Chain A
């Protein structure tokens, strides 16, 4: 197959170049006929509908929602489309949404539509969410943080460091993001704020060595936990992912032991989150998700699909910029917020 693929590429490239060369002068620009297209596709972005607002959505009296609540058996098309809208707008994804809709239209159970959707979503959120803070004897437990650029890895580490400090543990932060300008400075400010130790190196240094040094320091001085930052990276570059795998191997080398690898995920992320989770799972052995930026309008529904398909549980959620705004994930509360009930 490899040769065939190269063959295709080679042929295409050659053809492209030969065509280019033999072309003399620029072909005239042909103006495409323009169909009338509104400048604004959508002028009013309605607030995301909630099951609670179904009554107004359906243009009927308040009683409709109560009826819907008690409605059992196969719901009508209108109800289905509202449920679809709610789920899609929460970034749950097309696949899971259609599945839930199907089960909903087949359902003859004695439960309300709301209950049915709620149960269907919760069924996918059934993994173990415990967080490991201890390692084998004579080892230093390490939490590794991975994710794409701009999801809030460094901030998350700061917040978790504070929580661990509050719980009475001593913490070393490893400034493993040696790529982004001033990332280590950002982490250093968190170290100061939370009373943690920090190990950092200059920009462009090897992230593995920073993590290694941090573990060595934690081991020698009997710290309880190492939180290791990594540079944000896109999940479709094998080089970057290999580098991450290497950092993880180093962090897992005695006396270090990676007890948790958190994928930090931005709640505004759409369907690409699933790809990200897949890639980071393969290269860094992700054990849990931290869903950040849930305090905005985004709902982060894609984590339901991720937990279902990849079995990675959400362990923390970020709901604000304050140090205490990182909470333990609770499925019921999350699903309720998705459904707006």
Chain B
């Protein structure tokens, strides 16, 4: 539903192109689009305005670079600014000289405090610390029980009794000191920022426990209200940082910027899933790309590293470039890609993908991949090594063997041939000399190097190549589409 910022800027970039310096009119037009994009990403209105003003200052009078189009230059500035604001000076957790180090979690109901408390405890445990959890959420039914269950699963003790939250916190802290735990995490009840009574209560807890760190837990799907929440909590508790949760949702997460904008404290941790281990330090560059809908190369790289054997990959790369790519190789890679997650999810992480590619990827389900696998497995070894030999009768046999149709087999073979051709073209000799690849590897290298401020230049070239390939063979595409419609059992996903 959202246009990525780059798509948006492309729409107006014909007007932006080929000038030595961004004119005021161009800047207005471009920043107007940036504003829209930020608002759609749920960045709060006043934060958006302030942010746009800062970007404007940054861009005004800046000479246009030779290598970037004006549109790209705007994106780059926006991205850099986002990283800067989100990152700022990072917060490094220093442990109290007189343990325990006390951490207080606060936030609205449903932001994920209790789960975060457990995840944080687990994170400290991995750092070699001995955490202790205090369940001071006596408000929500069974919240204490929830933390106990989570605590058991990670082997961290949980303190609670049924007196009142302030006493629980006090006694819990005493207990932690007694049994020699060096990190104490206090989970508090979710509360509305305007509920004075509850805000006073959390203030009291903060007073008696004197936390070294107070984190605001904020949900990435939060809308404009994020600033009110953040401000109210900051005024009451003097926050030392922000923890953002539910980053596995497909929200853009502009709330992070909103909260950061009014609190002025860094975002420290990010929760990225339901499992206890889905919790990590916060990476501003990833968040910036996400807010702008620009893909997430770093996560893609990490997933690739986790799931793909580099030796196999290297061997295959050389075969790819020399055009010796076989259906067996394709199968191996298909399986590697599948291990990394859904195609839709992976495509989302890739910058520079066109909308059609994304939509198409979203609509590929496991069934379709299984079908491809079945077709390939129904071929003989020789056929897989050298698909050219597959004639009419072989096609019929393969179709029957895999329980699909000859059309499907044809389609697969056609697309495979195209893909092979393209790979060879891209290879064409030494990889980095080809513009498309150079751009890609440049982006990857930069992203890896700086974990940072550079905008991934995108895979436009590659994507364009793929699409050109698609267009060059309309019959295959047409059949494909038709078949998708007819053969679908579940309704198509709408995103």
Contacts and interface: CB of A to CB of B under 8 A. Distances in A.
B120 to A, nearest CB: 16
A272 B221 contact: yes
A2 B45 contact: no
Nearest to A150: B110
Interface residues of A, number: 87
Contacts of B406: none
B423 A17 contact: no
A270 B252 CA distance: 10
Contacts of A15: 317, 431, 437, 440-441, 444
Interface stretch (B123-131, B145-153, B174-182, B390-398): B145-153
B305 A185 contact: no
Contacts of B469: 4
A283 to B, nearest CB: 9
B466 A182 contact: no
A2 B408 CA distance: 12
A7 interface: yes
Contact of A85 (B45, B139, B229): B45
A337 interface: no
B225 interface: yes
A6 B333 contact: yes
Nearest to A34: B84
Contact of B466 (A7, A186, A203): A7
A237 B493 CA distance: 11
Interface in A205-250: 234-238
Interface string A1-33: 111111111111111111111010011011010
B300 A12 contact: yes
A38 B53 CA distance: 11
B36 A94 contact: yes
Interface in A232-287: 234-238, 266-276, 278-279, 282
A297 B470 contact: no
A152 interface: yes
Nearest to B42: A270
Contacts of A269: 221-223
A1 B221 contact: no
A309 to B, nearest CB: 9
Contacts of B423: 7, 11
Interface in A281-337: 282, 293, 295-299, 302, 321
A94 B225 contact: no
16 contacts: A2-B372, A5-B360, A8-B357, A10-B333, A11-B426, A18-B314, A20-B310, A29-B449, A42-B46, A89-B44, A148-B246, A150-B109, A150-B246, A270-B251, A275-B251, A296-B108
Interface of A: 1-21, 23, 26-27, 29-30, 32, 34-35, 37-43, 45-46, 85, 88-91, 93-94, 148-152, 179-183, 185-186, 189-190, 203, 234-238, 266-276, 278-279, 282, 293, 295-299, 302, 321
